[in-house]
A and B are shown apart, each in its own frame.
Chain A
Amino acid sequence: GDSVTQMEGPVTLSEEAFLTINCTYTATGYPSLFWYVQYPGEGLQLLLKATKADDKGSNKGFEATYRKETTSFHLEKGSVQVSDSAVYFCALSDRSGGFKTIFGAGTRLFVKA
């Protein structure tokens, strides 16, 4: 079945450092790919998405490119801030899977001032 694998955390960075969180997926169809974020004490919210190969999703300085050839959707940000500290979830949703979303285990990011 479909699955998502993302790098284990926690990831600890200093402010203004470059961030990469790796995510790879396995899917039988042509999924849409998502990054969700969960800030401390808050619910899951969509950070960015991409619906087809080579699409780049971007939001709040974060970017991820849908790479079909490597089945990857790595999250990047050029300069992180303390306020980016959160748990990040890579996810996919596939029409052939009935639109349910399959999530990775999450990567906790700590950003130090």
Chain B
Amino acid sequence: GAGVSQSPRYKVAKRGQDVALRCDPISGHVSLFWYQQALGQGPEFLTYFQNEAQLDKSGLPSDRFFAERPEGSVSTLKIQRTQQEDSAVYLCASSLPSGGVPDTQYFGPGTRLTVL
């Protein structure tokens, strides 16, 4: 059983470039989450999908950030016109449906984005 995978593992972008980060959740996991982890900090919530529906995007820091999960499986986080403050590790997590109780989230290894 494969875990959550993310690609690329490392990304260096020049300020102003667009980037796309991919997440492959565990097969059968309905819920998918994106988090941003700055150096020395805990992960901070960005957005949440249940199947293909984006139910919460309250954590996206600006309209430069966009996430999608068109077929309810793989998800892509896109950052347009990257800025230096976007440098962070971007984590993806997935979980099973849990009958209304918050369940364990399984995390991928993350994508470390560095904006020069």
Report how many A-B pairs have Cβ atoms within 8 Å. Answer: 64
A44 contacts across to B, CB distance below 8 A = 43, 91, 93, 107
Binds B, one of A61-69, A72-80, A91-99: A91-99
User: How many residues on A have C-beta within 8 angstroms of the other chain's C-beta atoms?
Assistant: 26
> Which residues of B are found within 8 Å of A102, using beta-carbon distances?
45
User: Could you say which residues of chain B place their CB within 8 Å of the CB of A105?
Assistant: 40-42
In the complex, the answer to whether A100 meets B41 with C-beta atoms within 8 Å is no
Chain B interface residue count, CB cutoff 8 Å, equals: 27
Instruction: Tell me the complex Cα distance, A54–B81, Å.
Output: 48
Contact surface of B with A, Cβ cutoff 8 Å: 31, 33, 35, 40-45, 48, 55-56, 59, 91, 93, 95, 100-110
Q: What are 5 A-B interface contacts by the 8 Å CB criterion?
A: A43-B91, A46-B105, A51-B102, A101-B33, A106-B41
Which A positions have Cβ atoms within 8 angstroms of B?
A: 4, 31-32, 34, 36, 42-46, 49, 51, 89, 91, 93-95, 98-106
